Structure 1
Amino acid sequence: MKVSIAKTSGFCMGVRRAVDMVLDASNRYTEPIYTFGPLIHNPQVLRLLAEKKISVMETIPEQGNGIVLIRAHGVPPRTREKLEAAGFTVIDATCPRVVKVQTIISRNAAEGCAVIIIGDKDHPEVVGLLGYAGDRGVVADSLEALKALPAFEKAIIVAQTTQSTRLFDEVGAWAAAHHPHYQVFNTICPSTKNRQAETEALARQTDAMVVVGGYNSGNTQRLAQVSKKSGHPVFHVETSEELDTNALAKSDHIGITAGASTPNWIIKKIYRELEAARFRSKGPLARTLFSAQRLLLLTNIYLAIGAGLLCYSASLLRQGEHFAPHILIAMLYIFSMHTLNRLTGIAEDHYNDPYRAAFYDKNMTVLALLAVGAGGLGLAVAFSLGVFPFLMLLVMSGLGLSYNLYLVPKGVTAIPFRRIKDIPGSKTLLISAAWGVAVCAFPAAATDSLNFSSMFTALWLAGIVFVRSAFFDLIDMQGDRIAGKETLPVLMGADRALRFLKQMLAGLFLFLLAATLLGVVSSLGYLLLVLPVTGYMLLALYQRDTLQSGLVLEFLVESQFVLAGLLALTWTMMTAL
């Protein structure tokens, strides 16, 4: 079974902008926050906003206070005036594409033109557009309704931005044939056009389609209609719990598309459910391998193995000695810190990785005991090496644990951040620094071999880990924003962050090449040049949607560290000949 996701799936630009604006407002203001009408047509997102104390305002009171966000659909001009007159601070999150239609309508209505809107008369966007047309606006939801309208001396035709492209093509052809003096403005959003075109193409290539989105979402309903034209089975679902995996298991190729108001974490959960179903359908061996692979990733055991192998390769790269206790300490430290921070940061995982969140919720006590036990065992091993290694690891562990702790009392307002976690962009920097110390600087310091070579190696490996962590942050942007985490991609934006990571990998390649040529590090550096190359390839494949956010992608990214160890073993055997 192959699973493909349409490139234009999930939040469109206007919805993403509106959601970002309301989340930013909830983090910035202490006043009550409202959206005028439901922000988007997705019940899961609306429940999420309700949990964050963001209320829905349906009618405007005579007096009020707080922040009111105008959703992406827009509102009639009179509505905004009434909100401001009632005493509310208005934040306008109207989609720029909708603003463009409002401007066209306002200008032409002022010149005496009738305004024909092709759309659903009860849709909030159409209600808002009618407000800009005044008494000159009419709505037609079909070609038949358009034909039934009286002929106008002067008229324009515009479309609801999420309207069917096929319907509007028919409207344009009819107007050209019967009322050539009508001005036709194709105001369907490019995202809507692309989404429908991609869905139609994907539906033809697949055996079944899964359409994800709210049942009352007009653009999602249209995606389901477009998909059904292929003649293949179509399953419209809001959540993964509604998937009929038994029926879908009969398909060799399944396509996934999603409405403009569907959040990424729901699409991701659908994909992961189908990914699991694909392996379950392959037989006992495939099911066992899949379950083992997922368990290794969920428990951070695979990550700990990668840390140990990275520690081994670091010792060879910096031309130092390697000891089994140092490798064991690196594995135990990374396992302990990552597991404990997952346990304390489970809120964002409910959106970024629902399977991981469910796993941690179910096994919280066992995982906490394992993490604490691993940390304690690491300290015991360090103590067996001497007081200095023990104290150094104790400080490292304390710093790792302090990430989620409130270090500044609640009453102290002079310091804006109460936790290290609250500092924008701190997560990726601190994770990469911790790895650089654990896999390289700590072993070097414990053996009195902390020199320029070891410092370069620690910084270079920290750079590789930085890209890995920032890449996962990039995938998890939407959930991090919802949870109020300002990671690097959230601060920079997805496109800029992706370019930055590619540039960083290119820099890491050149720095290691130069250091190896100059003899700063061992000739293992030539083999380790593979890491930035494969990292760049993974970023490129993800950017082109060849690799989807799922178990396979996560396993490939984490395998970078295992690859480093395998390259080090290969180099050891080559140099021994």
Structure 2
Amino acid sequence: MRITIARYAGFCFGVRRAIDITFKVRQKNPRKKIYTLGQIIHNPQVIEALKKRGIGIVHDIDDDRLKAGNIAIVRAHGIAPDKKQILQSRGVEVIDAACPMVLKVQSIIKKASKTADLVVIAGDKDHPEMDAHLGIAGDKGVVVENVEDARRLPQARRISVVAQTTFGVATYREIISVLREKCEVLDVSDTICRSTIDRQSEVRDLAKDHDVFIVIGGKDSANTKRLAEIAAKENRRVIRVEDPEQLKEATIPQTSQVAVIAGASTPHWVIEECIEVLKSTHTHAGIENAVLNFLSATPLLPSLGSLGIAMASLVFCGQRYSWDVLLTVFFLALASTGPHRTPRQWPLWAVSTGIATSLGLLSAGLTGGLLVIGISLLRPLIDVGGVADYLRSIYGLVVFVLISIITPLSLERSSIAPGVFVLAAYTAVHYLGVEILLGLKNMERDAIIGRMSLARYIHEEHSIMLLEYAIMGLALMLFLSFPLKIAPALAYGLLPPLFFLAKGIDFYHEQVIFDNRMYTIYVQSLWVIIPAMGLLWKFTMM
């Protein structure tokens, strides 16, 4: 089975904006009653998350729940101006989360209604976006769903035509051709969202060499339905699902060429979970899934990074490698770093702490053992306490520095060289960079479940800019540290992980969707480069 994931699958800009606005409104108004005017987007997972956060849905502006002082959020599809004014006159605070593309269409319709004899809106008459458009067009507005509807229109001197932002490109062109025969002047506006055009075009391209299409999205989503229709017209097998559980029921031959596509209202994490289910059905998926689960869910990779930083700290201070000290650091990191603890992982913490304590006693006596025990107890404190996620990232960095730099130098009773401060700066950028990248990757899920990651706390654009500047500044610092005799040449070995850390930002910008476990492993595996450089240093320089 070959699986191809559509490049343009998942949330579009307008949907992400609507969701972000909705959850920020809840965050700023924890005690107010908040309602969305219809489903904020057509996706069951998002609607369920809204419900859990106390955000209700009303389908009529005359709903008794909309009282003065309450908040009504306009969904991505927009609202008719008269309805908005009615709500505001009743003392309801209206927050507009309409997609900017929808607002652009409304602006075009408003101008066209002053000059054209007829304003044709190509789209689905039952789509919520239409209600807002018709409210602006007034008596001149008419909905055209297909070519037959266009042919039934009366002759007019001047006609202006726009399209629903998620309408079919091919159908819109056919309607325009018919309208040219209906008037003397035809004003055509290209109002189909660029994201919609790209998705529909990609389906046609994928249909050339794929025989099965997995279409992920809400059953009420117009753009998801359109994607399925296009794939079906290409005589391909189409399987529509809303969540991973539905995909488990599908029977797909192992020889299939599978394309995974999704509507603009489908969260990335739902797509990734569907891909994970799809891969699990593959004949040889057992070992692959076991490896991915192990590497993404255990602290092995950051522990190897801690080992590498410890090696670098000894070199920066002119010390030779002491393997009992390095193994102490590794097992202490195994106990105190990595993802949130679950009940099954506590035995790992206990065993790793016991081994690290024993090694600490052997290398530095009672003082070393007490140091190891003291640091190892910091992890349970953060896991048991209800600490905000962005503070957990800062706390984790402090623990990581204590394990990777302070512990080996303390056990070796080494003085601190100036280069150690450069190493500490590198550790901070690398550790927090990993936290930011994982936060960016899971931004949609975190916004919906209410998790305030470091990336969300700083803000998406600011966190990216901050990380980019930090990487560039640190790279310059490392490059100059050896010529300035601040650090040994091993400082150059810390540059490759920074390059690949920056590449992680590119992955985010490109909105590459793949197994979330693989992205986690990619980001965390950058730690492994450091002990590799440390070993290279041992065999070539020591």
Do they fold alike, i.e. is TM over 0.5?
A: yes
- How far apart in 2 are the matches of 1:134 and 1:319? 80
Compared with structure 1, are the counterparts of its residues 420 and 68 closer, same or farther at alpha carbon in structure 2 (3 Å cutoff)? same
- How far apart in 1 are the matches of 2:224 and 2:512? 24
Compared with structure 1, are the counterparts of its residues 187 and 265 closer, same or farther at alpha carbon in structure 2 (3 Å cutoff)? same
Alignment deviations for residues 63-117 of structure 1 (CA, whole Å, 9 cap, x no partner):
6142111101111222222322333211111111111111222233244632211
Which runs of no fewer than 5 residues in structure 1 stay unpaired? 344-363, 407-418
Say which of 98, 102, 127 aligns to 1:123: 127
% identity of equivalent residues = 27
- How far apart in 2 are the matches of 1:48 and 1:269? 17
8 Å Cα contact 2:157-2:184 kept in structure 1: no
Offset, 1:258: 1.0
Instruction: Tell me how large the CA RMSD over aligned residues is.
Output: 2.9
Aligned to 1:469: 435
Superposed, 1:316-327 pairs within 5 Å as: 316-327=315-326
Offset, 1:379: 5.1
8 Å Cα contact 1:512-1:529 kept in structure 2: yes
Superposed, 1:349-364 pairs within 5 Å as: 364=342
* 2:510 corresponds to 1:574: no
Compared with structure 1, are the counterparts of its residues 519 and 374 closer, same or farther at alpha carbon in structure 2 (3 Å cutoff)? same
Offset, 1:261: 0.8
Alignment deviations for residues 274-326 of structure 1 (CA, whole Å, 9 cap, x no partner):
3444xx434xxx74354134223323334334433443344334432443444
8 Å Cα contact 1:327-1:439 kept in structure 2: no
What's the secondary structure of 1:342's corresponding residue? Answer: coil
Say which of 348, 355, 359 aligns to 1:370: 348
Worse-matched range after superposition: 130-139 or 429-438: 429-438
Aligned to 2:270: 266
- How far apart in 1 are the matches of 2:103 and 2:426? 48
Q: Which amino acid aligns with 1:123?
A: H
Superposed, 1:95-110 pairs within 5 Å as: 95-110=99-114
Worse-matched range after superposition: 501-510 or 470-479: 501-510
* 2:61 corresponds to 1:83: no
Offset, 1:272: 2.3
Give every structure 1 segment of 4 or more consecutive aligned residues whose post-TM-superposition deviation is greater than 6 Å: none
Superposed, 1:153-164 pairs within 5 Å as: 153-164=157-168
- How far apart in 1 are the matches of 2:314 and 2:514? 34
- How far apart in 2 are the matches of 1:50 and 1:558? 34
Aligned to 1:565: 531
Worse-matched range after superposition: 29-38 or 441-450: 441-450
Q: What is the TM-score with the length of structure 2 in the denominator?
A: 0.89
Superposed, 1:102-181 pairs within 5 Å as: 102-111=106-115, 113-181=117-185
* 2:187 corresponds to 1:183: yes
Alignment deviations for residues 183-203 of structure 1 (CA, whole Å, 9 cap, x no partner):
222211112112212232233
- How far apart in 2 are the matches of 1:15 and 1:288? 37
What's the secondary structure of 2:260's corresponding residue? Answer: strand
What's the secondary structure of 1:254's corresponding residue? Answer: strand
What's the secondary structure of 1:121's corresponding residue? Answer: coil
**Higher RCO (C-alpha 8 Å, min separation 6):** 2
Worse-matched range after superposition: 177-186 or 254-263: 177-186
* 2:404 corresponds to 1:439: yes
How many residues are aligned here? 536
Q: Which amino acid aligns with 2:12?
A: C
Superposed, 1:425-574 pairs within 5 Å as: 425-449=390-414, 450-491=416-457, 493-494=459-460, 497-541=463-507, 543-544=509-510, 548-574=514-540
8 Å Cα contact 2:479-2:491 kept in structure 1: yes
Q: What is the TM-score with the length of structure 1 in the denominator?
A: 0.84
* 2:56 corresponds to 1:52: no
Offset, 1:125: 0.7
Alignment deviations for residues 112-135 of structure 1 (CA, whole Å, 9 cap, x no partner):
632211111111110111111222
8 Å Cα contact 1:337-1:397 kept in structure 2: yes
Q: Which amino acid aligns with 2:207?
A: A
- How far apart in 1 are the matches of 2:452 and 2:205? 37
8 Å Cα contact 2:4-2:260 kept in structure 1: yes
Alignment deviations for residues 215-266 of structure 1 (CA, whole Å, 9 cap, x no partner):
1211101011222343332222111122258744534643222111111110
Compared with structure 1, are the counterparts of its residues 533 and 391 closer, same or farther at alpha carbon in structure 2 (3 Å cutoff)? same
Which runs of no fewer than 5 residues in structure 2 stay unpaired? none
What's the secondary structure of 1:267's corresponding residue? Answer: helix
Worse-matched range after superposition: 507-516 or 8-17: 507-516
- How far apart in 2 are the matches of 1:268 and 1:177? 47
- How far apart in 2 are the matches of 1:147 and 1:404? 66
- How far apart in 2 are the matches of 1:427 and 1:199? 42
Compared with structure 1, are the counterparts of its residues 117 and 66 closer, same or farther at alpha carbon in structure 2 (3 Å cutoff)? same
- How far apart in 2 are the matches of 1:219 and 1:112? 29
Q: Which amino acid aligns with 1:439?
A: S
Compared with structure 1, are the counterparts of its residues 217 and 48 closer, same or farther at alpha carbon in structure 2 (3 Å cutoff)? same
Aligned to 2:35: 34
